[in-house]
Amino acid sequence: MTIRLANAPVSWGIYEFEGIGQKYPYTQVLDEIVETGYTGIELGPWGYLPTDPDVLRPELEQRGLRLLSSFVPVQFADAAAIEEAEAQALRVGRLLAALGAITIVLADDNGSVPELVQQAGRRRGSYLSPEQWDVYAAGVNRVARKIYDELGLKVVFHHHCGGYVETPEETQQLLNRVDADLVGLCLDTGHWHYAGGDAVECIREYGERVRYLHLKDCDPAIRTLAAEERMDYMAAVAAGVFCELGKGEVDFPGVLRSMEALGYDGWAIVEQDVLTDDPEGPRESARRNREYLRSLGL
């Protein structure tokens, strides 16, 4: 098994969510990703990194960084929004394809439904009805097919707290309905635990459909506190529910063993979802996360 390690702008608090300012210039984030020991990167929100491949390519090449993917949020629950979403996904995909990326990470438009943001981490079961799931999955299939047919890129779907695909049951509802060849699962270990699941059990259940990894930890004490105080998603993130790797409840040695058993040969993206005012915090967390994974043999 070969797992190569990347990091992402989200570890520096660079989010797709509206209203969150970008505190770091992209050149600083790229430099610090390399400095802390990673060789790959995700695109981050559209427009944070240069979107002209002739501009972005030299920025990556001079640092020895591989662009892997991009997180693309879509309002899949709204059938009327799919055409516009498809165009946006293709725009992102063309940049990715031009730079040799390996996949597109589709996700719900997380954070756009106040009720889901407020209940994040506390919901169980499924929010959508079977009929709504049919609409949702049809949109995912449509966008995934278009991306593959035009760009040759396959899709992974990212479950995420604060959206319609948060809980293990919601993930199952979606995966049961989408094209298994075109759409794999991006397992985010921290979000899976915050939503009430276990990452090792997820890998055992879905096997080869786990085609991409986001490595994130979840602090069980803060998760409990967030539930007791009914924190919304952003408040829980600010409180540190997604702690540094090895400091929470995710069994990372078990995750790596399970992926090895699948013969996984690919990338794992370390994500330290943060909302912090400490200018040195993201870099130092990235460094400690890398040291932890090194202690596990990566």
108 forms beta bridges with 74
- Count of domains for the chain: 1
Residues spanned by the domain of 30: 2-295
pLDDT above 80: residue 17:
no
pLDDT over 60 at 209, yes or no? yes
Segment 66-124, tens digit of pLDDT: 999 999 999 999 999 999 999 999 999 999 999 999 999 999 999 899 999 999 999 99
Judge whether 104 and 110 are in contact, CB under 8 Å: no
Of 245, 224, 228, 238, which Cα lies nearest the Cα of 276?
238
| pLDDT the model gives residue 16 | 67
Confidence at residue 23, expressed as pLDDT on a 0 to 100 scale: 78
Q: Which of 152-166, 248-262, 272-286 has the lowest mean pLDDT?
A: 272-286
Hey, what long-range contacts does 220-228 have (CB within 8 A, 24 or more apart)?
220/248, 220/249, 223/121, 223/193, 223/194, 226/121, 227/121, 227/122
The predicted pLDDT at position 147 comes to 97
Query: In whole angstroms, what is the distance from residue 207 CA to residue 261 CA?
Result: 9
Percent of the chain beyond pLDDT 90?
A: 90
DSSP secondary structure, the chain, as one string:
-EEEEEE-GGGGT--SSTT----S-HHHHHHHHHHTT--EEE--STTTS-SSHHHHHHHHHTTTPEEEE-EEEE-TT-GGGHHHHHHHHHHHHHHHHHTT---EEEEE-TT-SHHHHHHTTT--S-SS-HHHHHHHHHHHHHHHHHHHHHH---EEEE--TTSSS-SHHHHHHHHTTS-TTTEEEEEEHHHHHHTT--HHHHHHHHGGGEEEEEE----HHHHHHHHHTT--HHHHHHHTSS--TTSSS--HHHHHHHHHHHT-EEEEEE--------TTHHHHHHHHHHHHHHHTT-
Q: Which pLDDT value is given to residue 21? A: 54
279: exposed, middle or buried (Cβ count in 10 Å: 0-12, 13-18, 19+):
exposed
Euclidean distance between the first and the last CA atom of the chain, given in angstroms as a whole number = 10
Predicted confidence (pLDDT) at residue 15 exceeds the cutoff of 80? no
Instruction: Give pLDDT, residue 9.
Output: 94
Average pLDDT, the chain: 94
For residue 1, what pLDDT is reported? Answer: 60
Considering only CA atoms, which of 113, 139, 142, 143 is closest in space to residue 127? 113
Taking the CB of residue 256, how many other CB atoms lie within 10 A of it?
22
List the CATH number of the domain containing 141. 3.20.20.150
Give the pLDDT of residue 268. Answer: 97
Cα 234 from Cα 46, distance rounded (Å): 21
| 19-39 per-position pLDDT tens digit | 555 678 999 999 999 999 999
pLDDT greater than 90 at residue 232: yes
